[in-house]
């Protein structure tokens, strides 16, 4: 089974609107971390936000927030007030606490912000 | 701090040639990783090293070898390059714990003719 599933290959959003990028995960490890990365067309991988499995509150970093629903095993990224510079690929990833050092990545969502 | 550095940035090989991709990190991280990224696909793990002296296969290890030279450096070797290995290669490093994010190098764009 896939550890990380991102079901939206491509998304469009109007500038200044909010957008939600979906991510579901699969693990039986009680300790895990969830991460979102941004990859602009220039190619570098940029860390955006982290959510731990024991965190009670949803993580926020500026315009990025994570809608963490543990029972549903989802960790959706919310970008508020979209900007043209948000156009990029977005990857969700998970790292388990007790089963090694691997990170599991989804296949990504391509976000295009329309002026 | 340079973070994670990779060399070279670009490389063109002929089928059958060999090469080594170099990676170094200056963040005192224990774990290091090599990924490949193909068009329209996510990152696929080739090999990783949890700590100095250990290496483990990832999802797509065939055709590659790695060396964890010391805590800072983790190299990826293609012994006999094939066109199927045309890809962008990323090195990454991370601290030990599940809350530690990965830091990525800038990538190496490899073309095998």
Q: What are phi and psi of A21, to 5 degrees?
A: -105, 130
Q: What pLDDT sits at residue A40? A: 96
Residues 31..50 of A with a Cβ closer than 8 Å to B: which? 31-33, 35, 37, 43-45, 47, 50
Confidence of residue B99 (pLDDT cuts 50, 70, 90): confident
Rounded Cα gap, residues A20 and A76, in angstroms: 6
Q: How far apart, in whole angstroms, are the C-alpha atoms of residue A57 and residue B96? A: 23
pLDDT tens-digit readout, B60-85: 999 999 999 899 999 999 999 999 99
- Judged against a pLDDT cut of 90, whether residue B110 lies above it is answered with yes
Quote the pLDDT of residue A100.
66
Splitting chain A (115 residues) into consecutive groups of 10 residues, what average pLDDT does each group show? 91 97 96 96 95 96 97 97 97 86 92 97
Query: Residue range B17-34: average pLDDT?
Result: 96
pLDDT of residue A95: 93
**Which pLDDT belongs to residue B33?**
97
Of the CA atoms within 13 Å of residue B38, those in its CB half-sphere come to 9
Residues of chain B with Cβ-Cβ distance to A95 below 8 Å are 94, 98, 100
């Amino acid at each position: 089974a896939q550890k990380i599933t991102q079901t939206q290959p491509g998304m469009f959003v109007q500038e200044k609107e909010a957008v939600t990028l979906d991510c579901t995960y699969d693990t039986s490890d009680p300790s895990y971390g969830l991460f979102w990365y941004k990859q602009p067309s220039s190619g570098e991988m940029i860390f955006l936000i982290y959510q731990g499995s024991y965190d009670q509150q949803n993580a926020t970093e500026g315009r990025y927030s994570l809608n963490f629903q543990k029972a549903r095993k989802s960790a959706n990224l919310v970008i508020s007030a979209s900007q043209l510079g948000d156009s990029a690929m977005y990857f969700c990833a998970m790292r388990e606490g007790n089963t090694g050092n691997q990170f599991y990545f989804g296949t990504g969502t391509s976000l295009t912000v329309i002026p | 701090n340079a973070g994670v550095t990779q060399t070279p940035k670009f490389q063109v090989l002929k089928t059958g040639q060999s090469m080594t991709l170099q990676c170094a990190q200056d963040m005192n991280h224990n774990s290091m990783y090599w990924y490949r990224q193909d068009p329209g696909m996510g990152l696929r793990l080739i090999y990783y090293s949890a700590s100095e002296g250990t290496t483990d296969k990832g999802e797509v290890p065939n055709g590659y070898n790695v060396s964890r030279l010391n805590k800072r450096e983790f190299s990826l070797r293609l012994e006999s390059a094939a066109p199927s290995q045309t890809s962008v290669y990323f090195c990454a490093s991370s601290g030990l714990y599940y809350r530690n994010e990965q830091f990525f190098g800038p990538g190496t764009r490899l073309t095998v003719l």
